Structure 1
Amino acid sequence: MIEHTQSYVKKNPRLYHILVLVVFLTIYGCATPIAPTGGPPDKEAPRVTETFPVPGTTNFTGDTFEFQFSEFIQRSSVSQNINVEPDLDLEYRIKWKKKKLSITFLDPLPDSTTVILTLGGEITDTKRNKMGRPLTVAVSTGPEIDEGTVTGKIKEAESGRSADGAKVLLYREPFDFSKKATYQAETDTSGEFNFAYLREGTYRAIYVDDRNRNKIWEQGLEDAQPFSKELIELEKAGGDTLDVLYINKPDTIAPRLLGVGLFSSNRLRLRFNENIKIQEGADISVLDTLGEEFSSGYVLYNSQKDPFVAYAQSSNELGLSQEYGIRVNGITDAAGNRAVTEDVIFEGSTQADTTIQRIISHETKNGISPTQSVEVVYAAPIQDPMILDSIVVIEGDVSFDDWPAIEVINNRLFVDPQGTWIEGLTYQFLVWSPNSRRRQLYTPEIWDEVELGDLILKAANRDSGEVFSVSLENESIAFSVDTVFTDSLLIQNLPPVNYTLKVFIDRNSNNRWDQGIPFPFKAPEPYYIQQGVQIRQGFASEIIMQF
């Protein structure tokens, strides 16, 4: 066979090379072209520079839509980002020629119909830059094109940021959520969506986490939320703008304890499957093989290096060759789900505790209020008298080595003010660091009363008597306010830092924000969020909330 091929090449060299070239060009033409390399990184989003037909064309009789891109496109990203509306069950073929995409329908388009073809914002170029903003081309096979519009905006309820790539399904009457939506839109990078070229009629819009991209709300499997308006009435060439929808993708999965390690007969290392938070007063119960409490205990701290790890202390020694279970209280994830510890069994230990006592953290770096304690967290229970005996409080120019307001709770040291920290004085705290055998100096910023500010909240255009639930927090200083009001609210003596403000109207008095139900329809409770609320020293800031 090899000898035959070599003989053929010798006899027909020109024909052989032509055949090789044809095969190469055929393979090359089917692949995604690669842009030339070199130069600065390409961060520019691809865009469509020209379409055929142009949007708004009437009496269209063709079967092919063409899109000319500014960049070479990652062709595998296109097929899942083509949307034809209304849902006509029309099959089509995709063809590429360099940067030009052609979509050819295999059956004739229906007469006197507005056909909308949308390229989704998830289409990427060969450098993985997304289009970001969907592109729509609409044509009519009749003399008129539908011109109705529905627009809106979607934001994330937790952060207030614009929700990019969120799917909105629009149904035309009669409504049947078990079938494909009549139209689908996708939010751009600013969270905005737009339905265009709509016929007059009655519509309903819902947000759906349409993971399988089939334009159907899979009830029980996919999250969905309604807009505040149930029915949208469109006249011919009319338009409507929906209220901002805040979507909440709730994290309902509890953190799970994966394992327990013992550094000694009393010290435990708890490893979870996700990052955790330690609430004030968090504790543990060590269980025997019958599920009864063998020992109480408490949580020491959350590892800064490994935020999915917590350290705890058992009151009783956990003996070698004994099996134990554990129950925890006050350990959650960022969403507030309580940790689950079932089915975790571990053995005790007789190893002596070799933990090096050291300072883990201090709650002073972001400032403290006039009545707030200076809190220092140690690695192990505080038992060394040197830690207490070595404390020095410097109040202005005066040093105190016998400060009376000192408290120890497990592994936490609290230096309390005597009533309040004196206004106008600078405080310094010298705290013993056992591993370095020297005092550690802390000079926190203490906000005097004249440096604190107030916040006034008012709601615009709302019915009197409605109950507003308010959350104002700053995690860096462990500060939060949770309260309710009806007409206006004055929050006084706030440290001058940035806060996150969340407000909702609690219409069913269940003390939580309800995001609504698409079917049967239940409107979402009005919601407001503002990041970066700045409190100014000595002033009252006012926020008028628009729901």
Structure 2
Amino acid sequence: MFNYLKRSLALVFLACGVSLALMQSCAQTASPPGGKKDTLAPKVIQSVPLNKSKNFRGKKLDLTFNEYVTVKNLNQELLITPNIGTYDTRIRPMGLSILIDSALKPNTTYTFNFRNAIEDVSERNVGKNIKLVFSTSDLIDSLQISGRVRHVQTNKKLENILIGLYPYTDTLSIEKNKPYYFTKTDTAGVYQLENVAAGKYYMAAFLDLNNNLLYNSNKEVVDFITEPFIDLQSNQTRDFQVALQNLDPLKVAKTTTTAKTALIEFNRGISRADLTKSPLAYQIEVNRGIRFYAGNVERKDTLVFQAQLADSLGREITQTFRIKFREQVTKGKPIKTPYKYDVFPAMGKSLSPLDSIRIRLQKPVQGFNSQLVYFETGDDERSFLPDAGFRWNDIGNELTILKDYLPIRAKFTLAIEKKAFVSVEQDSSEAFKQSYEFQDLENYGSISGSVNTTKTNTAYVVQLIHPDTKEVLYETKTSKAFNFPYIEPATYEMRAIEDRNKNGRWDIGNFKDKTKPEAIYFFPNKLKIKANFQLTDLWISTQ
């Protein structure tokens, strides 16, 4: 009898457990298996006012969608032209409302472009081309301007570049005036300004980093029309090529002094420095700093002298330097450090027929013994160079051994003996040796062609650049035809700079006087160079 009761109770508990498990599984929610994934973007099924409405003068806009939606980054994504001032937003599960604080302007066509702000809740599908256009008069403005934006130096298509259209005045400044109409480029660098009224406009494109609709020349790339205005009476296409145009004047940003050196850092790059009247040795560091060396000057005195500097725009200024070094503190015997230098081409690199050997020193040189720099061309065979084989830069921190003075040997060794160089701080260089060999000419490729231009008396700088980093790898100056005879096998991009002022480098423009940067023209395709391979008759179009 006891065993029978025991088995009965066990069956009761088992039945209760199964029932609870079934009840729990019924209570759990789960997505039904199968079915197609929702790939459809939300659509507007109702709006107040209706799209393309006329004579609307209300202060509340309503949009209702065909499914549940979420609104993301509305302040950044929603573009309203012309500007309506401040407004409030109310979000509903299947829509949103916009409450306008001030009255709308008469005889005006408004466009509310929501771009990527609207997504459905289930799959985050972004609503496409969600716009609301209406007019406060009985006319809908219908003109449009479209185009593409690229970066001048890289030819890259740029996203989120603001395209601004300004009512024309002869005192207009894009730094101080907000555009009347504006839009932004998509991921392909394409823009379209729609529902624009006929009239005279100025036009500019810039990267509005702080979303204030004003151009900031310090940080934002820009391009602009050079004519006074566009007389818009029909649809137009306008392409832009933006570049940074930092017009802040060159000035000292920071000064750091020690007992041995003084580093003067500027707020922008330095392209040229005439310091021939400087009583101190110096060198330019990282393109925007000048380091002066005390040498044997009296540290208790403040040195005052002037120099001519040119910034990265080529604008020249006269800079007054006032330098006072700190007092020398002697703590025991000073520790001498070797005078360091780097040699190019570096270890393991072969020489091409166009290569010279460069020796870049850590600081300016004060003494150089040319007899301690020579070539070893065989067993106990040394080749010394005449003075004409050496060329120093103006600063005295880089020595070039000219290619015409390199040994006529397949292999040789550069030898630099100890104390060949003595710096302005009296430290001397260590001994060094590096072996070189000339690359077999069959291991190179070549590129030749011409700049396709109708302009006369125009100079070009043709460059082969790295396709990813945009580093300049080869360069030649020409009026039309170009030739790169010894190219390492690799993939390159090719571009031609229109060198208007013939200074051999690219110069940026000035938006204030409507001067464009020097134009850069790109060969349309990447160039893959193989060993012993020639690419000829290439044309870089300037049209």
TM-score normalised per structure 1 = 0.61
| 1:356 maps to which of 314, 333, 337 | 337
Instruction: Provide the C-alpha distance between the structure 1 equivalents of 2:325 and 2:100, rounded to a whole number of angstroms.
Output: 67
Q: Offset at 1:516?
A: 8.0
Q: Offset at 1:116?
A: 0.5
Work out which of the two has the higher radius of gyration on C-alpha atoms and give 1 or 2: 2
Residue ranges of structure 2 left out of the alignment (5+ in a row) = 1-39, 120-124, 420-427
Instruction: Provide the C-alpha distance between the structure 2 equivalents of 1:518 and 1:198, rounded to a whole number of angstroms.
Output: 26
Aligned 8 A contact 1:228 1:243 in 2:
no
| 1:185 maps to which of 183, 186, 202 | 183
Instruction: Provide the C-alpha distance between the structure 2 equivalents of 1:137 and 1:160, rounded to a whole number of angstroms.
Output: 30
Q: Offset at 1:374?
A: 1.0
Instruction: Provide the C-alpha distance between the structure 1 equivalents of 2:343 and 2:537, rounded to a whole number of angstroms.
Output: 30
Of 353-362 and 167-176, deviating more is 167-176
Partner of 1:153: 148
Residue type of the alignment partner of 2:296: E
Residue 296 of structure 2 is aligned to residue 297 of structure 1:
no
Q: Per the alignment, do residues 278 and 512 of structure 1 end up closer, same or farther by CA in structure 2, a change over 3 Å counting?
A: closer
Partner of 1:16: none
Aligned 8 A contact 1:167 1:207 in 2:
yes
Instruction: Provide the C-alpha distance between the structure 1 equivalents of 2:238 and 2:500, rounded to a whole number of angstroms.
Output: 21
Partner of 1:259: 255
Q: Offset at 1:211?
A: 7.9
Instruction: Provide the C-alpha distance between the structure 2 equivalents of 1:439 and 1:245, rounded to a whole number of angstroms.
Output: 48
Residue type of the alignment partner of 1:377: R
Partner of 1:468: 458
Q: Offset at 1:404?
A: 1.7
Q: Per the alignment, do residues 269 and 90 of structure 1 end up closer, same or farther by CA in structure 2, a change over 3 Å counting?
A: closer
Q: Per the alignment, do residues 455 and 64 of structure 1 end up closer, same or farther by CA in structure 2, a change over 3 Å counting?
A: same
Instruction: Provide the C-alpha distance between the structure 2 equivalents of 1:527 and 1:341, rounded to a whole number of angstroms.
Output: 31
Aligned 8 A contact 1:259 1:344 in 2:
no
Aligned 8 A contact 2:253 2:267 in 1:
no
Q: Secondary structure at the match of 2:338?
A: coil
Instruction: Provide the C-alpha distance between the structure 2 equivalents of 1:422 and 1:407, rounded to a whole number of angstroms.
Output: 17
Q: Per the alignment, do residues 360 and 275 of structure 1 end up closer, same or farther by CA in structure 2, a change over 3 Å counting?
A: farther
Instruction: Provide the C-alpha distance between the structure 2 equivalents of 1:207 and 1:101, rounded to a whole number of angstroms.
Output: 31
Residue type of the alignment partner of 2:383: W
Partner of 2:322: 344
Matches within 5 A, 1:277-296: 285-286=277-278, 295-296=279-280
Residue 359 of structure 2 is aligned to residue 376 of structure 1:
yes
Aligned 8 A contact 1:472 1:499 in 2:
no
Q: Secondary structure at the match of 1:503?
A: strand
Q: Per the alignment, do residues 226 and 188 of structure 1 end up closer, same or farther by CA in structure 2, a change over 3 Å counting?
A: same
Partner of 2:303: 324
Residue type of the alignment partner of 2:263: L
Q: Per the alignment, do residues 523 and 297 of structure 1 end up closer, same or farther by CA in structure 2, a change over 3 Å counting?
A: closer
Instruction: Provide the C-alpha distance between the structure 2 equivalents of 1:270 and 1:518, rounded to a whole number of angstroms.
Output: 32
Q: Per the alignment, do residues 403 and 523 of structure 1 end up closer, same or farther by CA in structure 2, a change over 3 Å counting?
A: closer
Aligned 8 A contact 1:133 1:189 in 2:
no
Instruction: Provide the C-alpha distance between the structure 2 equivalents of 1:444 and 1:251, rounded to a whole number of angstroms.
Output: 47
Residue type of the alignment partner of 1:441: Q
- Post-superposition Cα deviations, 1:402-446, rounded to whole Å, max 9, x if no partner, equal 2222648555454444546648x2455354588996635354775
CA RMSD of aligned residues (A): 5.6
| 1:104 maps to which of 93, 99, 102 | 99
Residue 263 of structure 2 is aligned to residue 270 of structure 1:
yes
Partner of 2:224: 226
Q: Secondary structure at the match of 1:347?
A: coil
Residue 505 of structure 2 is aligned to residue 527 of structure 1:
no
Q: Per the alignment, do residues 373 and 449 of structure 1 end up closer, same or farther by CA in structure 2, a change over 3 Å counting?
A: farther
Partner of 2:160: 165
- Post-superposition Cα deviations, 1:165-216, rounded to whole Å, max 9, x if no partner, equal 3332225689994876441122334432211234566655333677886768
Count of matched residue pairs: 457
Q: Secondary structure at the match of 1:321?
A: coil
Q: Per the alignment, do residues 174 and 70 of structure 1 end up closer, same or farther by CA in structure 2, a change over 3 Å counting?
A: same
Q: Secondary structure at the match of 1:370?
A: coil
Aligned 8 A contact 1:367 1:477 in 2:
no
Q: Per the alignment, do residues 173 and 310 of structure 1 end up closer, same or farther by CA in structure 2, a change over 3 Å counting?
A: closer
Q: Offset at 1:137?
A: 0.9
Residue type of the alignment partner of 1:544: I
Q: Secondary structure at the match of 1:318?
A: coil
Q: Per the alignment, do residues 478 and 400 of structure 1 end up closer, same or farther by CA in structure 2, a change over 3 Å counting?
A: farther
Residue 530 of structure 2 is aligned to residue 540 of structure 1:
no
Q: Per the alignment, do residues 145 and 347 of structure 1 end up closer, same or farther by CA in structure 2, a change over 3 Å counting?
A: closer
Between the two proteins, what is the percent identity of the paired residues?
A: 11
Matches within 5 A, 1:15-414: 49-51=42-44, 53=46, 57-59=51-53, 63-66=60-63, 73=72, 78-79=74-75, 82-87=78-83, 89=84, 92-97=87-92, 101-105=96-100, 114-119=109-114, 137-140=131-134, 146-171=141-166, 177=172, 181-199=179-197, 204-207=202-205, 225-227=223-225, 230-231=229-230, 233-235=232-234, 239-254=235-250, 256=252, 258-259=254-255, 261-262=257-258, 264=260, 268-273=261-266, 285-286=277-278, 295-299=279-283, 302=285, 311-313=291-293, 317-325=296-304, 327=306, 342=320, 344-347=322-325, 356-365=337-346, 369-379=352-362, 381=365, 383=367, 389=372, 393=375, 398=378, 402-405=382-385, 407=390, 409=392, 410-414=396-400
Q: Offset at 1:452?
A: 6.2
Q: Offset at 1:470?
A: 1.4
- Post-superposition Cα deviations, 1:362-410, rounded to whole Å, max 9, x if no partner, equal 331477552542112233537586x964x56465xx4675222264855
Aligned 8 A contact 2:251 2:267 in 1:
yes
Instruction: Provide the C-alpha distance between the structure 1 equivalents of 2:288 and 2:178, rounded to a whole number of angstroms.
Output: 42
Residue 414 of structure 2 is aligned to residue 429 of structure 1:
yes
Q: Per the alignment, do residues 106 and 339 of structure 1 end up closer, same or farther by CA in structure 2, a change over 3 Å counting?
A: closer
Partner of 2:448: 455
TM-score normalised per structure 2 = 0.62
